[in-house]
Structure 1
Amino acid sequence: MIFVGYIDYSSEPKSDIAFIDMKSFYASVECVDRGLNPLTTSLCVMSNADNASGLILASSPMFKKIFHKTNVGRAYDLPFNIRTRKFSYYKAKKQGLPMTPEYIQYIEYWAKRTLIVPPRMERYIEKNLQIFDIFQQYASRDDILPYSIDEGFIDLTASLNYFVEEPTLSRKEKLDLVSARIQRDIWRQTGIYSTIGMSNSNPLLAKLALDNEAKHTKTMRANWSYEDVESKVWAIPNLTDFWGIGSRMAKRLNQIGITNIQELANANPDLLKTKFGVIGVQLWFHANGVDESNVHHPYVPNLANRSIGNSQILPRDYYEQAEVELVLSEMAKQVAIRLRKNHKQATKVSIHVSYSKLTDLPSLNTQMKIEATNSTKELTAAVLLELLRN
């Protein structure tokens, strides 16, 4: 049986959304502070850079292009020794990389020109606040929703006509013009390049536009709205390229014959609810471009009885970062094991740290959203990254 869902987009809410992402934010801040171009400089921000197991927290576009490494990796994953900057035959062979003289020369050339710097969270927060001030020049605080330290939503519905008064232009054209101005202001005032996903419909489509098109366009902007659902949303090549679908969910969808977003959008929502519960219905709506959240009242799922955690009381005060990282890594490992045992994935990492009575320091409470995973490596990296941010 073929079931085709029908969405009446004329009855769905519409708003003019810009989802703005600072390109390689931490690495860009480090480049700009050194008077270097963030797009042409090979630089990575690494925790414990003097250690072979240092954690890569961020990297510039050039670094990623040369070494084919994304964020959240380890120094030992790089094809060169971070101390000597010499090509590592052992690492290259382990990763299946070429061993040709040309490749070795290429790696060593760039390794010597690559900057490896420690994280400076206070500086990144300072830049984040500066960028937030720029956002407020285009919208009120209530129309701005920070998504993370380097990205956020702006609802420009109420301000488009104020900034672009030309009555002959469509709201799509006005949104593009205002977004371009925001990009320009961010670059002029901070030296940081930004990418913007836009939508004249809802935040979800703006986020999808950013992830799947804007990052690959010359202007670093793209607009996905209701009229683009069939041609753009359904054309997303892999299920795992879609917001909210990890590798495990993709496998479960494959098991019921859903291999792409178009098939998900045209699946029977009752079947999806039976197989996956409320999440299945939500994925069906998202695949059809419908999003129940908005910038002013973002959707918050009921997380009651849906968390897996681990706690530990330490025998003494820990002052060295390496000691704290070791404890948190072990706790993340235990949580990952329990997640896999229960066939679950985490989409949010939370950390709570209480200090001993010998100090007057307040407790630390922090959390961050992550792509759905139960991987020990990914959860450990997320926990350590969030620790360094605080």
Structure 2
Amino acid sequence: MDQLNQSQYFDYSLEPRRAILFQDVKSNYASIECVQRNLNPLTTSLCVMSRADNTKGLLLASSPTFKKVFGVKNVSRASDLPFLIETRKFNYPQWYRSHTDIHGQRTAPSVQYVAYIESWAKRTWLVPPQMQLYVDYKIKVTDILTNYTSIEEIHSYSIDESFLDVTESLNLFYPDIENRYVQMNQIALDLQREILHKLGLYVTVGIGDNPLLAKLAMDLYAKHNRNMRALIRYEDVPDKLWTIPKMTDFWGIGKRTEKRLNKLGITTIKELANANPLLLKQKLGTIGLQHFFHANGIDESNVREKYVPKSSSFSNSQILPRDYPKQWEIELVIREMAENLATRLRKGGKLASNLSLYVGAAVTSEYSSLKISRNIEATQNTKELQDLAITLFREKYEGGAVRQIGISGNRLSSASVKQLSLFETPEESQNTEKQESLQKAIDEIREKFDFLAIRKASSLSEGSRVIYRNKLIGGHAANQEMEKKDVS
């Protein structure tokens, strides 16, 4: 390797060199739906689409063929598709929205293109999400991963991605192979084959000397390779990292960060890797140093060391299924969300010293959205948080329909340390203790059975969201029955 191309700052022989794999199930949700229907995940046109009332056709995931044919990305809208989902006919309004020039002149699609889209549209599966099914498959995939390393050496990055440290497994599985990178490639191949054989899912694997290089190998190269595997070693940094065409293709660098780097005269990953680290820290702070180390392929994190976030807030928000014009309906949802917040605080052993409320106005409303925040005495009490949230709402609400509500408990502290009030009477103190005992009993019943095992009569009201929301997983339907419209 030409030493002039290497970074001036690092001696890679001093860096930890582990055998790290980054595993990603290709088009996870869509692939699972294909497997359930005995379809090939790579050649079938399938899209997982939520048709719940508050989404109006949200594309959650799609198969590789669907993306290639229709040219859409995940997390798009049904209105972005080149065909109408009800009739499978060509979507002319969508075409003209993106094919009209500044003079208002339209470019009509060719007859061949229209026929091509409609032909594929008729063969396309549009299916509702089944989040519980996807969670079940995640468990099955993880079980297979434990055949290659211990559970302590596996870090789930998301529902379809995981880091694996297989350093200690290489010589155990492949004692006759001397080259460690050949061993790493072989273990990745065996992992791919086992998941495909047992679950029918195709897996992309990035291979590297550390977690960062394995992740970049998967993102930048493995996805585009026929065998769906790729390797990046420390020695490959100049050829495989510094040659990335767009800075935003690099992990952790978005358009905003790119603009800040451009102002410093840094326009490529190579320039970032060879920049002055002191200048980067001065202009961008600690994150600037992190980008500098990453551009040089440096990452000393350990898969074994699980990241435990120090949450500074607990928050929850939801888009309502329709416009809520009545104040009592809006307050009902606010009370339900405040109760959910209190439950999470108690489960996490936290007290909130600040309460924030967001009430998003409907498009049809003549009033503006509300954003309210207030410091409060540290609490996790359900009634206190409900009363406070309603008080904040009534202070600012002037009328109009509402479509979105969010609530957040901020400035968290440990529930094991609670400041006593000098102004609380013995009767009030006794009442507080009774409420806390009751809430603890309710929490224990819900934890053992289900959140809906104990619920208020108001949950049966038309505007209530507590029953529906507590059946969701990750904000989406757990199974097909929860979707109100059949899209299959």
The TM-score normalised by the length of structure 1 is: 0.79
1:228 and 1:45, CA in 2 relative to 1: closer, same or farther beyond 3 A?
Answer: same
Which of 123, 126, 133 matches 1:116? 126
Structure 1 segments unaligned to the other structure (5+ residues): 319-326, 338-349, 365-383
Partner of residue 94, structure 1: 97
Instruction: Output aligned runs, 1:238-257, within 5 Å.
Output: 238-257=246-265
Q: Secondary structure at the match of 1:316?
A: helix
1 CA distance for matches of 2:255 and 2:194? 38
Instruction: Output aligned runs, 1:175-190, within 5 Å.
Output: 175-190=184-199
Amino acid across the alignment from 2:280: L
Amino acid across the alignment from 1:256: L
Q: Secondary structure at the match of 1:119?
A: coil
2 CA distance for matches of 1:254 and 1:389? 43
Structure 2 contact 358–407 (Cα < 8 Å) conserved: no
Residue 315 in structure 1 maps to residue 318 in structure 2: no
Amino acid across the alignment from 1:182: L
Structure 1 contact 49–117 (Cα < 8 Å) conserved: no
2 CA distance for matches of 1:227 and 1:119? 43
Partner of residue 139, structure 1: 149
Instruction: Output aligned runs, 1:338-377, within 5 Å.
Output: none
Partner of residue 125, structure 1: 135
2 CA distance for matches of 1:68 and 1:385? 28
Deviation sequence 1:288-344 (CA, Å, 0-9, x none): 00012121115678776xx897879951159xxxxxxxx99959xx99x9xxxxxxx
1 CA distance for matches of 2:164 and 2:408? 30
Amino acid across the alignment from 1:188: H
Deviation at 1:37, TM superposition (A): 0.4
2 CA distance for matches of 1:351 and 1:195? 38
Deviation at 1:385, TM superposition (A): 9.0
1:252 and 1:147, CA in 2 relative to 1: closer, same or farther beyond 3 A?
Answer: same
Residue 11 in structure 1 maps to residue 14 in structure 2: yes
Residue 55 in structure 1 maps to residue 49 in structure 2: no
1 CA distance for matches of 2:221 and 2:136? 29
1:255 and 1:98, CA in 2 relative to 1: closer, same or farther beyond 3 A?
Answer: farther
Partner of residue 26, structure 2: 23
1:52 and 1:147, CA in 2 relative to 1: closer, same or farther beyond 3 A?
Answer: closer
Deviation at 1:230, TM superposition (A): 0.6
Amino acid across the alignment from 2:297: G
Amino acid across the alignment from 2:194: D
Instruction: Output aligned runs, 1:192-203, within 5 Å.
Output: 192-199=201-208, 201-203=209-211
Q: Secondary structure at the match of 1:219?
A: coil
Which of 151, 160, 178 matches 2:170? 160
1:173 and 1:36, CA in 2 relative to 1: closer, same or farther beyond 3 A?
Answer: same
Structure 1 vs Structure 2: percent identity of aligned residues?
A: 50
Deviation at 1:257, TM superposition (A): 1.0
Residue 258 in structure 1 maps to residue 256 in structure 2: no
Amino acid across the alignment from 1:14: R
Deviation at 1:5, TM superposition (A): 3.7
Residue 213 in structure 1 maps to residue 229 in structure 2: no
Structure 1 contact 197–222 (Cα < 8 Å) conserved: yes
1:69 and 1:351, CA in 2 relative to 1: closer, same or farther beyond 3 A?
Answer: farther
Amino acid across the alignment from 1:252: R
Deviation at 1:386, TM superposition (A): 3.5
Amino acid across the alignment from 1:136: T
Which stretch shows the higher mean deviation, 171-180 or 89-98?
Answer: 89-98
Which stretch shows the higher mean deviation, 97-106 or 22-31?
Answer: 97-106
1 CA distance for matches of 2:67 and 2:358? 27
CA RMSD of aligned residues (A): 3.5
Residue 72 in structure 1 maps to residue 72 in structure 2: no
Deviation at 1:102, TM superposition (A): 0.9
Structure 1 contact 57–385 (Cα < 8 Å) conserved: no
Structure 2 segments unaligned to the other structure (5+ residues): 1-6, 100-106, 319-328, 335-356, 362-367, 372-405, 410-438, 452-471, 479-488
Q: Secondary structure at the match of 2:168?
A: coil
Which of 261, 270, 275 matches 2:283? 275
Residue 388 in structure 1 maps to residue 476 in structure 2: yes
2 CA distance for matches of 1:187 and 1:330? 45
Amino acid across the alignment from 1:192: L
2 CA distance for matches of 1:195 and 1:219? 8
Which stretch shows the higher mean deviation, 52-61 or 75-84?
Answer: 52-61
Amino acid across the alignment from 1:190: L
2 CA distance for matches of 1:260 and 1:140? 38
Q: Secondary structure at the match of 1:280?
A: helix
Structure with higher Rg: it is 2
What stretches of structure 1 move > 4 A for 4+ residues in a row?
49-52, 298-304, 307-314, 327-331, 350-353, 357-364
The TM-score normalised by the length of structure 2 is: 0.64
1:303 and 1:284, CA in 2 relative to 1: closer, same or farther beyond 3 A?
Answer: farther
